[in-house]
Structure 1
Amino acid sequence: MFFLKLSLLMLLAVAPDLLVHAETSVTCEGNNAVLTCGAGVLNILSANYGRTDSTTCSAGRPSSQITKTDCYAINTLYKVKSRCEGKSSCVVPAANSIFSDPCYGTYKYLRIKHSCVVHKTSVTCEGNNAVLTCGAGVLNIVSANYGRTDSTTCSAGRPSSQIAKTDCYATNTLSEVTNRCDGKSSCVVSATNSIFSDPCYGTYKYLSIKYSCVVHKTSVTCEGDNAVLTCGAGVLNILSANYGRTDSTTCSAGRYSEQITKTDCYGTNTLSEVTNRCEGKSSCVVPATNSVFSDPCYGTYKYLRIKHSCVVHKTSVTCEGDNAVLTCGAGVLNILSANYGRTDSTTCSAGRYSEQINKTDCYGTNTLSEVTNRCDGKSSCVVPATNSVFSDPCYGTYKYLSIKYSCVVHK
């Protein structure tokens, strides 16, 4: 099978001028990755702590430290998302203490691909309703607070005693707004104590919500059943996932109250498990069971909630000896998967002897890293389908270079 990237681009259901170029950050082991987005917030697309080529971060290193090029820390994406997703900036140390050591003795680096999502902010004074809409897209709640963090917002006509406290936070705001709005095309949230309780008695509060509009689907699967995700001609891009329980109504039919009252239950390994099983595939099946995710809250009846988008990709197939030419017009290339070898007996078979095409389990392990280095983030590129570029993964077999990619619109 193809060697797939950890993550693809999240598609935004907003005007093209809000789509931004995906940037790649490479940080050598022992240093810090610093990601910033200015007025936007970070959207982590893919990440790996390890080594996938022998040239990156190789200066001054003995060959024994850079020859292993199939090194992946499977928790990288989850760790980076936890630290950075939805923030305007973040710092991630490229260190074993953060990701553990996926290949002892190899000098590693942290490669992160991210985009910057321009978000909207809604501010609603206490006693009024926040109305969020996304047109053809759905709401993705980035952050929220019901309280007061400055003395000027919603201050007109208020005595100083009601606006002086500026460290007021309702800790349940994000979960409440997320449950009411996330994944919907529109929602209404009342900025009242009856919704969020009163985090600072006597202070006049307001509800501040940051959100973006995205194209995604949400799958909810009750414990014991299977989540089935499909994307037709596209491939899956996993945006978020949780195995647990965050409300008392979902998957509650026929359950005892003690099985559904705990609503702060999160499976910390859910995103990494679902990503590993589904990312970059046209379809996948994920059992919503403790055997897959472990049990984050014993005695609670759980469910698996997955948000995903479908990325439409293109496929380029180039016979050995020719050049693959990839172009994206006004966009830039996002390489999804690649293989130099042979996985069937029909592609590029015209005029070939049977012994040249009957081996169908031939994979060039360095294909993805080579194609990514040559093409990712460029408007066009040329890749020779030759042994001199990829080495020869199966001597005597006539090979071909197959590349899956998408075109990313940027400013």
Structure 2
Amino acid sequence: MTKFTDELNFGSGAKLKNRLMMSPMTTTQSFYNGEITQDEIEYYRDRADGLGAVITGAANVEDLGKGWFGELSVAHDNMIPGLSALAKGIQSKDTKAILQIVHAGRMTHRAELNGQQIVSASDIPALRDDAETPRPQTLAEVKATIKSFGEATRRAIQTGFDGIELHGANTYLIQQYFSPHSNRRTDEYGGDLAHRFNFIKEILIAVFDAVDKYATEPFIVGYRFSPEEFETPGIRMADTKWLVDQLSESRLDYLHVSLNKYASISRDENYHNQGRLAYVREWVNGRKPIVGVGGVRTRKDVENVLQSVDLVAVGQQILFDPTWAIKLNSGHDEAMVQIPFKDAVEITPLSLPLYEFVAARYHS
């Protein structure tokens, strides 16, 4: 069985010292314009020790791609100095720094966009109480957004990050183009699976063009996806099987399965023989390393995830237990934070915006 202490070599040539990653999480700690703050740099640096890689919270690639107040941005060159400080902070712990990049699409509001209407593949609002109706991106805007992902990759390289992760999960814009719920287009970016994949395919081309042009050392490119949607019509496991096959034949270094619980079972009764992670492993069939995530708190959780996949990402536990990876590596499991997260909120030193964000989540 894979051990969390095992090194991992990616297809790009990059290497992780172990199989532990910090999962990308929203922190709301950036300035109003998306510029990094010292609080955010210290937050990541404090949690990087003992991990193979830290994946940052989402950084928007365009101003219209901003999803929430306090979100990090990689949309402009003037963000490079701050992002460079963030990368160096993570790397000071001998840990790889991976910048997650995103466009929120319809999962935002006019208020976050200075009054501008939100955009998506089509004019279909999300199924949530506060959802606004987006306008469909024009063909020119689609091309510009694809280019923005390439430019964000260039900036990540120039800041000294070790890699980027494309946020194709959690119903943000990349997923919106692949989803039959949010994408009702009739041009080359809509219709059947292959056409709805065109947006992703062209983003991958733009990203790897930037890697080939600007990277002088191995540069990691990962992709995060959600295997199912609740909406009807929506992404189902059969669609994800097709998507995973396309992604597994690309230059991506890893696939990251976004799950709330790593042992979760599909909503589709045709996929109940094993967990979602096991199905993804079966479909990938060794072509790419897979990252599992969702509710990992203990050594046993880590071992369980690594029975199915190659890497384990840890989120909430590290949020409230910054030295968790050190404790795991040194065998001090008894010192790990074990209380419910709703109680941990009040005893964990957090910056004010992050405290308010997590308190609202866990105390609601």
Alignment TM-score, normalising by the size of structure 1: 0.25
Normalized per residue, the structure richer in helix is 2
Alignment TM-score, normalising by the size of structure 2: 0.27
The structure number with the bigger radius of gyration is: 1
